[in-house]
Each structure stands twice: as C-alpha cells, then as structure tokens.
C-alpha cells in the first residue's frame, strides 16, 4: 500500500490506505483498452499515490492526533480506491497477447490490496477511518499500574520479560488487554466492509484474497502451510513439554498444571509468542548457558539506541551492502518520544520507492531489540536492493521473504561474531551449545504455532466461520490448539484479545512470519555454505562474507519480478519451502529435549 507498505507498513497503513471513489484515475480501462497502456498507466499512478499515502501514514504513526488521523485516512482512502479500481479493471482485460512480465503485473494489480474497499464512497471512507482509528487505539494504548504510573506497550513488555512474580505478570497481561475492548465493534465493521470490497473483486472474502498472493491457487496455500507445520510440530511439542515441566518446578503445579496448556503470562512475552526471555528460568542449573547475556553486554559496552543501529548496519556492510543513506539517520525514529503518542511497534519504511528508507522503533537497550533492529534493517536492505525494479515488482518474492532477511542476519549473532565485534573476550566452549540452541529455540521454535494461528483466526473471521459473538472464545481455542497455552484469567466476549496484538488492529497479515521462520533457516543454511563455512550450522556467522552477501543480493534485487520459487532457488537451489533446514539446525537440541522429557517422566501434550 505504500511506499513502505506492502509488508511493513501495511500496518496501520494498509488499513488506512483505504479507498477511492469519484476521483477515478485519468483513464478508465475497459474492454477496448490496450492492456499495455493500462498497465503502464496504473503502474505510474500507483507509484505516485503510494508515495503520498506513505508520507501521510508516516506522519500519523509518528504524531498520533485527530488531524494527522484525518489526513492519513484521506490519503489511505484515495490509495485504496485507486488500487480497487485498477484491480477490477485488470480482471476484465485479455492477457493472452502479453509477455510473462506483463501478465505478472496484471496479476499483481488484481491482488495488490490488503483490505479492499466497496465501491460506495461512504463505505470506502468509513473503511479508511476504521483502519486509522484501530491503529491509533493501539498506538495510544496505556495501562496504568497506579493512577500516576501509566505505561506504554514497550514498557509493559519489559515487565513481561523480566518479572518472575505471577501476580504482577497476570495484572500486566490483563491490563494491556483492556486497550483492545473498544476495538471490537470497529474491527467487526472493518471485516464486513472489506469483505464487500473483496467480493466485488471476485474473491469469496478477504481471507481468500490474502491466500491468493503466493503464486499458487489460493486453495492450495493452506495445504502448503499444514505440510510445513506437520514437519516442525514434533520439535515444538518437545519444547513445550520441556518448558511446561520446568515452569512447573519454578512456580509449582498449582500455577502450571502439568496436564494442561501453559498459562500465557509466564512465558516472558506479552503474547507468549517468543519465550527467549525466560531462558534462565527453564535452563537446568548445570547446563553451561550461552555464556553471556546480550542485554548486559550491550550495557557494559555503552551501547545506546544509535550505537545498536550502527552495529547492525555494520553487519550488512561487512557483507558488501552499501552503507545506509544519511537520510536514514536523520529521518528514522529510534527512541520513544516522551511528549506525544506514536506507534511504537517496529517497522521499516521506504518513503520514495528508492533510497528514502527509514525505521520507526521505540528501541529498548536489550538483546531482544538488538535482534529486532537487524530484522528491520533487513527490510530496508531488501527495499533498496529492488529499487530499480518497475514499481509493481518493488516488493519481496512473497511476504515471508521480506520478514526473513533480517532474521538470517540475527541468526548470525553467534559467540564468534560477538567476539569479533569486541562484546565478549572468549567464545564459550562447545558444551555450551545446547544452551545456545535452547535460547534460540525459545524464540524461533516457540514462535511457529503463534505465527500460524493468527491468520487461522482471521481467515475464519473473514469467511464467517467465526462471528462477533465468539471472537474471543475462538481465539483462545486456536491458542490452545496450536500453541498449547491458555489465558491466565477468565475471558469473555467483553474482551477482544486479538486486538491487543499489533497486527490485528493494524491489518497486517501474519502468515508471513510463520513462513519467515521456516525460510530464514533455508537461507541461512545455503548462505553459510556459500560463505564456505564448515562446522556445526548454529555456529555459522555470515559476518564479513561478501560471497554470501552477493548471493543474497541476487535474490533481493529480483524483488517480486519472478514467482517466489525462483527467488528461493536463487539462494538455496531449491524451489520448495521446507522445514528441514530448521530441523537440521535444532537436531542436537531436539534429541536433548526428548532425553530430558523422558528422564523426568513427563506426560507431553495438552
Ligand atoms: O512485527 C514484527 C516486526 C516488524 S515487521 C518487528 N514481527 C512479528 C511480531 O513482532 O509479532 C517480527 C517477528 C514477528
Ligand atoms: Zn518485519
């Protein structure tokens, strides 16, 4: 949807970017329109409005006020209306005489929306306002621990990460979810309107539109996901079993019943999506751990927010990528402002479809955010790599690719790398590797079912299988089914817990992150090979490998110009997404977890 849009910005953006109506594009395509002329005009027009819409969204996300909301809604409305207009026209054109590239552009025009607006101008305007309002409710959300101590989402997340007091955790967990209650009717209205827009474009509902973006029939995509999940599920189940057992030791079986889903407030994260922050709680005392605490190391070495970003940039330049432009440093948001409301959830933007790349992030000086910075810069590096593609190809091969690139680099934050940049003096011995792998699995493996369930919920909402009357109950059924976790306090349909997760009010599709967690191990394994690395795969760092950088760049600069299997093959030699690389990476840990679970006589499952 915008310059930064399709994946990152889609957040509030997309939603914001809503519809258009009367100011139709300069030339109306019809049956007689030359498809080539149509494509050229649509591409030029969308390139231009995406820039305006992106700037309006940037300003709104950095200064949330009534006025910026109105301007962002209006820009979003125009963007979406034009995108809907071109999508419906594209569907009427005869593509038979076109080149493969032109046919691909036509296909992209047909599916290039997240929340399509209905034709009625009043509905289109309303859809735009809903997106802005939902994004604003999330961005402005605060929970007051005491009347004069109101905390923002990043501050509350810090408590979720560090507190070991179940009562405090429960209070913060439930408190943050209060911000989502008012979203419920707005979200429901948004679903109805966007479904009308999707149906007008020939999709059964918005979910089908979302599933149509993967270079395969929409109906095949869920099967692909099921196949990937089946591959990695045994590893997740072993980790779940182990963590529940250890948490039971820590908090007692009354707090963590051993035959039930894990209470969601004890996993070190507001959404129980990544569990790395409870490493010390669940790692056995006699296991040599990673040997360092990244948060502590950053503090000891005087890393502030800027230095953290500079260090991450160095990783990319060490692989041969050009330094970030000066405007990145002057225009990005790195530190949470104290004097105004902003959307703190980290995002990466490309404001001019070329080199005006930026991140927007309320950086906390800890290991987790050091990794997130690499994630965000991965987006920016991708955006810049495909800047010479035609506008409609300025995106990743599929949305999972965009989310995977920075994470490949984060996987390279190994002890050897930390030694190389002077954060540690000695590389921990090989016996520490199980600790390292456990730390990684708590983030990467724990995430998998979370990455999958969010859109399982949304797809069912869009299809009508889940209705407003059971939004919350259905959410917790899926949380239990996929993740094996449960709410720590009673929930009801007065709650709207999906809205307390950024990507729901921001309308960012979430399956991309599941895909990214699979793909990043495929990319990492292939690039380590390209770098000539030999040794245990989890110790490989791509730091300093220009060979790996060049290989990666061949894929990045393709953008969306080829179907994703070709882009995948450019790095890995294979056209298949597969969980095998992830399983290889964690193989020693999987064995260790099974042994531990067996020795403790644990009954796994929930
Ligand atoms: O939203 C993000 C990024 C921005 S694209 C920070 N992530 C997901 C999340 O936080 O829920 C990265 C991992 C999953
Ligand atoms: Zn991202």
Q: Which ligand is nearest to the CA of 271?
A: 1
**Is 476 strand, coil or helix?**
helix
DSSP state of 64: -
Report whether 525 contacts 505 (CB < 8 A): no
Distance CA 232, CA 238 (A): 10
B/e letters for 272-300, b = 16+ CB within 10 Å, e = fewer, are bbbbbbbbebbbeeeeebbbbebbebbee
Structure tokens at 328: 């990145």
Which among 305, 532, 517, 299 has a CA at the least distance from the CA of 410?
Answer: 517
347 pocket-lining for ligand 1 (C-beta < 6 Å): yes
Nearest CA to ligand 1 atom 6: 346
Residue to mutate (ligand 1; options 375, 447, 508, 519; most atoms within 8 A of CB): 375
Give tens-digit pLDDT for 193-220: 999 999 999 999 999 999 999 999 999 9
Give tens-digit pLDDT for 403-456: 999 999 999 999 999 999 999 999 988 888 999 999 999 999 999 999 999 999
Per-residue pLDDT at 30: 52
Going by their DSSP bridges, the two strands 262-263 and 485-486 should be labelled as parallel
Candidate list 74, 376, 446, 487, residue with the active-site label: 376
**Residue 8 pLDDT exceeds 90:** no
Candidate list 85, 265, 379, 402, residue with the active-site label: 379
Report whether 409 contacts 374 (CB < 8 A): yes
Degrees to nearest 5, angle at CA 19 with 211 and 187? 65
Distance spanning both ends of the chain, measured CA to CA:
41
User: To which H or E segment does residue 150 belong?
Assistant: strand 149-151
Give tens-digit pLDDT for 88-126: 999 999 999 999 999 999 999 999 999 999 999 999 999
Q: What is the mean pLDDT of the chain?
A: 94
Which among 517, 506, 385 has a CA at the least distance from the CA of 441?
Answer: 517
Candidate list 214, 236, 386, 513, residue with the active-site label: 513
- Among 4-13, 41-50, 168-177, the minimum mean pLDDT is found in 4-13
**Is 333 strand, coil or helix?**
strand
Distance CA 398, CA 160 (A): 32
The number of C-alpha atoms within 13 Å of 575 and in the hemisphere containing its C-beta is: 8
Helix axes 511-530 and 564-572, enclosed angle (nearest 10): 30
> Is 240 labeled as catalytic in the residue annotation?
no
User: To which H or E segment does residue 145 belong?
Assistant: strand 143-146
Report whether 488 contacts 264 (CB < 8 A): yes
Q: Where are the domains of the chain?
A: 2-138+183-211
**Residue 587 pLDDT exceeds 60:** yes
Is the pTM above the cut of 0.75? yes
Ligand 2 center from residue 376 Cα (angstroms)? 6
DSSP state of 543: T
Give tens-digit pLDDT for 264-301: 999 999 999 999 999 999 998 888 777 788 999 999 99
Distance CA 161, CA 275 (A): 9
Residues in CB range of 479: below 8 A, 6 or more apart: 261, 264, 453, 485, 486, 487
Distance CA 18, CA 127 (A): 6
């Amino acid at each position: 949807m915008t310059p930064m849009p399709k994946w990152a910005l889609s957040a509030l953006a997309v939603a914001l970017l809503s519809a258009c109506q009367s100011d139709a594009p300069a030339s109306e395509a019809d049956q007689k329109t030359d498809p080539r002329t149509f494509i050229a005009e649509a591409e030029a027009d969308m390139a231009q409005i995406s820039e305006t819409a992106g700037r309006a969204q940037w300003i709104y996300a950095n200064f949330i006020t009534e006025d910026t909301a109105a301007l962002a809604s209006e820009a979003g409305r125009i963007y979406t209306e034009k995108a809907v207009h071109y999508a419906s026209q594209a569907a009427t054109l005869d593509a038979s005489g076109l080149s493969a590239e032109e046919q691909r552009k036509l296909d992209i025009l047909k599916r290039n929306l997240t929340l399509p607006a209905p034709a009625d101008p009043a509905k289109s305007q309303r859809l735009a306002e809903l997106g802005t309002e939902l994004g604003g409710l999330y961005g402005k959300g605060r929970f007051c621990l005491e009347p004069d101590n109101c905390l923002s989402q990043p501050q509350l997340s810090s408590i979720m990460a560090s507190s070991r007091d179940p009562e405090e955790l429960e209070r913060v967990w439930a408190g943050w979810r209060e911000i989502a209650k008012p979203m419920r009717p707005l979200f429901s209205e948004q679903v109805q309107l966007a479904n009308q827009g999707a149906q007008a474009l020939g999709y059964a509902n918005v979910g089908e539109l979302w599933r149509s973006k993967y270079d395969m029939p929409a109906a095949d995509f869920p099967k692909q996901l099921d196949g990937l999940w089946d591959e990695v599920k045994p590893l997740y189940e072993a980790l779940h079993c182990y963590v529940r057992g250890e948490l039971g030791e820590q908090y007692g079986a009354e707090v963590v019943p051993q035959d039930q889903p894990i209470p969601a407030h004890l996993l070190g994260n507001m959404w129980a999506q990544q569990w790395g922050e409870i490493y010390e709680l669940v790692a056995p005392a006699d296991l040599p751990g990673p040997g360092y605490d990244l948060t502590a190391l950053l503090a000891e070495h005087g890393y502030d927010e800027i230095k953290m970003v500079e260090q991450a940039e160095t990783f990319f330049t060490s692989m041969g990528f050009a330094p970030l432009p000066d405007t990145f440093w002057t225009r990005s948001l790195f530190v949470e402002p104290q004097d105004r409301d902003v959307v703190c959830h980290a995002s990466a933007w490309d404001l001019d479809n070329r080199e005006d790349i930026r991140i927007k992030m309320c950086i906390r000086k800890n290991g987790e955010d050091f990794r997130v910075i690499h994630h965000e810069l991965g987006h920016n590096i991708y955006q810049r790599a495909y800047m010479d593609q035609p506008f409609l190809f300025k995106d990743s091969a599929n949305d999972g690719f965009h989310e995977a690139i920075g994470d490949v680099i984060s996987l390279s934050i190994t002890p050897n790398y930390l030694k190389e940049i002077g954060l540690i003096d000695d590389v921990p011995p090989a016996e520490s590797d199980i600790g390292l792998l456990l730390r990684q699995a708590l983030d990467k493996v724990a995430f998998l079912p979370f990455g999958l369930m969010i859109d399982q919920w949304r797809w069912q909402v869009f299809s009508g299988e889940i209705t407003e009357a059971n939004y919350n109950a259905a959410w917790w059924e899926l949380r239990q089914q996929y993740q094996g976790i449960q709410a720590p306090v009673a929930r009801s349909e007065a709650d709207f817990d999906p809205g307390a997760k950024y990507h729901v009010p921001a309308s960012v599709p979430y399956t991309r992150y599941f895909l990214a967690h699979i793909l990043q191990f495929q990319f990492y394994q292939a690039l380590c090979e390209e770098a000539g690395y030999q040794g245990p795969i989890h110790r490989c760092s791509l730091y300093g490998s220009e060979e790996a950088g060049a290989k990666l760049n061949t894929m990045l600069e393709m953008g969306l110009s080829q179907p994703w299997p070709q882009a995948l093959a450019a790095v890995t030699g294979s056209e298949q997404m597969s969980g095998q690389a992830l399983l290889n990476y964690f193989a020693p840990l999987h064995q260790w977890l099974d042994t531990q679970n067996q020795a403790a006589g644990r009954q796994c499952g929930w």
